[in-house]
Structure 1
Amino acid sequence: MEKLLKKLNDFNELVMFKHSIFSLPFIFIAMVVAANGWFGFKLMILGILAALTARNFAMGFNRYMDRDIDALNPRTVNRPNVDGRISASSMLIFTIANALGFILIAYFVNDLALYLSLPILFVIGSYSYFKRFSYLAHIILGISLGLAPIAGVVTVLETIPLWSVFLSIGVMFWVAGFDLLYSLQDIEVDKKLNLHSIPSKFGAKKTMLISKVFHFFTVVFWLLFVINSESSFFAYLAVIISALMLSYEHYLVNKDFTKIDKAFFTVNGYLGIVFFILIVLDNIFY
């Protein structure tokens, strides 16, 4: 039993399960708005399973592909994909199993979800390649998580309304913006390994400016989501609070690069949760 728990903990570290906090709230935000409230236990369970299998696939594939790069980066050298705790074959099996699980779950959701399952897997898997030839990898990561609201609304409505597109584009810019800040830690490593990233190409100062621009667009598209979905007070409050939290995130990073982890995990994690709670309240009271 102890050996099994240790192995589960290694896989938990491999896929960084706690990072699910970035995508899960926005899947359920889309589902709540699509259903005008509660969408049922069945869809809740299917939504959670779809999100987890998709993310496990993406992270497992990324760790499998990046094990050569991670072995040369002091920040990642102790990851399970590098230090031998999880073998390459185990990662590959884990990745394939989660891909198949995601497709199976999509089958039980509806026809449109099934049709979109393979394209979604292709997009979220492609991130692992982009850093090797294009600094637009940050955008690809943003698109990958930006698909979360689309998946949520398709689960409930089996269609893609305009408001969900605005919400998704906002998530894309949000994720790309905070990934830029997180990537500041690897500027020198990226240059040394000839990896492509905005920080290594444009430098820290311009990267922080680009991140600010991305987060400005985040707020704009989330505001368009609120307007187009005909939401009310609490939804507008969610956008305002998100703008304040993103401003605080940039304040932390501008003040001290050592605060990047706090900005990345704490601020962005709470942002998604607060946004979700306020959208739920909006659908309860309006």
Structure 2
Amino acid sequence: MEGIRTVSATAPVESVASAHGVGGKFKAFKSLVLLEHSVFALPFAYIAALTAMYRATRSVHWLQLLLITLAMIGARTFAMAVNRIIDREFDARNPRTAGRELVTGVLTVRTAWIGAVLALGLFLGSAAALNTLALALAPVAVIPLVVYPYGKRFTDVPHALLALAQAVGPTGAWIAVTGRWSWDAVVLGLAVGIWIGGFDLIFALQDIDTDRAQGLGSVPARWGVRTALIGARASHAVTTALFVWFGLLTGAGVFWWLGLVVVAGAFVYEHSLLHPDDLSRLNRAFFTVNGFVGIALFCFALLDLVTRGLRG
């Protein structure tokens, strides 16, 4: 992208020595799947679960919350591991991702598959321990997780597939608590999915040149930086509207609405950091702001539920 200031696309290359021992392999696998990025989706699963608990009994059911946590971590870990396995050849040709563990040989593909299968088992086992409907729908939730890594091979909007995969979390968390389908939870799920799809448009700006060189599809690679930024702003405007809708559907109190003001301000700040001719603050916009959004809204939602009578 000539004339555009960007973040550095070069990632440090790891040692090619394989990880040894169970501890070394676990550490390498944890790095591979970026376990800490669960902060983006997990708070919204908690919002859905706690709202469902408030409606049902006004009490927190800690075992359910633990099983939901394990299910979310299992599903996300499985998705990330499969993504890395499927994309490893493309990652090797991308300076930003050339240091990933499967590219450098720090972790073997076999070990990554073992980790992925164990994570899938954790997800399905947790769903089974929750209720029958959660278990029945769990395989359906896995489908977009597997399809997404292939999306950029056959579409210019793989971000939409990511949005679909992420929308499942809050909906599933609500089902985990109640054992019933809820359209209120679907609204929250759509908000989360569109939010993550929107900031994936921002994230994809880092790979615009390598995606084009490798024939991979994305909105930035197909239509350019300006269109991607407009799409991200529109996505986050829709996200905010859906959060408002969810609050209305669930009779949210004052702290939820205060939280939405904070989140809306964070979105405005995020997009003020980015300009088609200057992407030098992309990392701050992507990681810092979006990590804050999930945690902040969860804290306000929890405070709202507690002040309205949710008991521990």
Contact 1:46–1:105 (Cα < 8 Å) also in 2:
yes
Does structure 2 retain, via aligned residues, the 8 Å contact 1:162–1:228? no
Contact 2:29 2:115 in 1 (8 A): no
User: 2:138 pairs with 111, 117, 120, which one?
Assistant: 117
- Residue 25 of structure 2 is matched in structure 1 by 7
Q: Of 170, 173, 180, which aligns to 1:149?
A: 170
C-alpha distance after superposition, 1:101-128 (max 9, x if no partner): 2111111110010011101011112111
Residue 107 of structure 1 contacts residue 113 of structure 1 at CA under 8 Å; is this kept in 2?
Answer: yes
Aligned to 1:270: 292
Matched, 1:19 2:40: no
TM-score (norm 1): 0.96
Task: Out of 275-284 and 235-244, give the one that drifted further.
Answer: 235-244
**Residue type at the aligned position of 2:227:** K
- RMSD value, Cα: 1.5
Identity of aligned residues (%): 32
Q: Which residue of 2 aligns with 1:126?
A: 147
Q: Which runs of 5+ in 2 are unaligned?
A: 1-19
CA shift, 1:260, in A, is 1.3
**Residue 268 of structure 1 aligns to a residue in which SS?**
helix
Higher mean C-alpha displacement, 15-24 vs 36-45: 36-45
Give the deviation of 1:187 after TM superposition. Answer: 0.5
Counterpart pick for 1:140 among 135, 139, 161: 161
Q: 2:186 aligns with which of 165, 170, 178?
A: 165
| 2:274 match: secondary structure | helix
Q: 1:61 aligns with which of 69, 79, 82?
A: 82
Deviation, structure 1 residue 38 = 4.1
Q: Secondary structure at 1:230's aligned position in 2?
A: coil
Match of 1:249 among 259, 270, 273: 270
Q: What residue in structure 2 maps to residue 188 of structure 1? A: 209
State the secondary structure of the residue aligned to 2:101.
Answer: coil
Moved more, 78-87 or 232-241: 232-241
With 105-114 and 231-240 compared, the bigger mean Cα shift is at 231-240
1:23-34 superposed matches below 5 A: 23-34=41-52
Q: Could you tell me which amino acid in structure 2 is paired with residue 9 of structure 1?
A: K
1:41 aligns with 2:62: yes
Residue 136 of structure 1 deviates from its aligned partner by 2.0
Q: Distance in 2 between matches of 1:67 and 1:14?
A: 11
Q: Does 1:108 align with 2:108?
A: no
Structure-2 separation of matches of 1:173 and 1:101: 26
Deviating above 4 A after TM superposition, structure 1's stretches of 4 or more consecutive aligned residues are none
- Tell me which residue corresponds to 1:74: 95
Partner of 1:258: 280
TM-score, normalisation: structure 2: 0.89
Check conservation: 1:58, 1:125, Cα contact below 8 A. Answer: yes
The structure richer in helix per residue is 1
- Spell out, residue by residue over 1:195-250, the C-alpha distance to the aligned partner (whole angstroms, 9 max, x if none): 00000011001110111111110001110000011111111112221111111111
Counterpart CA distance in 2 for 1:181 and 1:253 is 9
Gaps of 5+ in 1: none
Letter in 1 for 2:183: L
* C-alpha deviation, 1:171, in angstroms: 0.6
- Which residue identity does 1:187 align to in structure 2? I
Partner Cα separation in structure 2 for residue 259 and residue 6 of structure 1: 33
Instruction: Tell me which moved more, 96-105 or 221-230.
Output: 96-105
> 161, 174, 177: which one pairs with 2:195?
174
From the CA coordinates, give the structure whose radius of gyration is larger.
Answer: 2
7-16 vs 272-281, which deviates more?
A: 7-16
The residue matched to 1:45 in structure 2 has which SS? helix
Q: How many residues are treated as equivalent by the alignment?
A: 286
Relative contact order higher in (CA < 8 Å, ≥ 6 apart) = 2
In structure 1, what residue type is equivalent to 2:31?
E
